[in-house]
Amino acid sequence: MAPFVPELLDWLKDANWPPYGACWLQLTRFPELAVDPIRQVLRDGEDGEWEEHLLQFIEREMPPEVRETARAEVERVAQRPTQDEIDCEAVEAANDCLREMDGYLNRANM
């Protein structure tokens, strides 16, 4: 499945594209394969809309231990966003993702 992950992620650039939902569902089956390519997109900071969708994917679909591997990139979007990330609401998605990550850690440490 790994060779197909980048192309599946490309379809998450625009939620209005017909394959968006099917690609999202396929990626949920392999979050451990998706996390590194997602981290690279977040590092690049060049496509705020795509990053917003990928951050939502991290928050909603990745198991906590996989999600945590993207913490540095998620924090970068939240704390040092590009103008495009601000304009496309990727910052809000990053903050939501961090709240979910921190909430899980707090529950796990109880």
> Count of CB atoms within 10 A of residue 24's CB?
19
Q: Identify the pLDDT of residue 61.
A: 97
Q: How far apart are CA 90 and CA 19, in angstroms?
A: 21
Average pLDDT, the chain: 95
Condensed to tens digits (0 to 9), the pLDDT of residues 30-51 reads: 999 999 999 999 999 999 999 9
pTM: 0.93
> Can you give the CATH number for the domain in which 102 is found?
1.25.40.750
Supply the range of the domain harboring residue 40: 2-108
Q: Is the pLDDT of residue 108 over 70?
A: no
**Can you list the alpha helix ranges (DSSP code H) found in the chain?**
5-10, 20-28, 31-44, 48-61, 64-67, 71-79, 83-87, 90-108
Among residues 48, 44, 62, 50, the alpha carbon closest in space to that of 91 is found at 48
Q: How many domains does the chain have?
A: 1
Q: Is the pLDDT of residue 110 over 60?
A: no
Q: Identify the pLDDT of residue 37.
A: 98
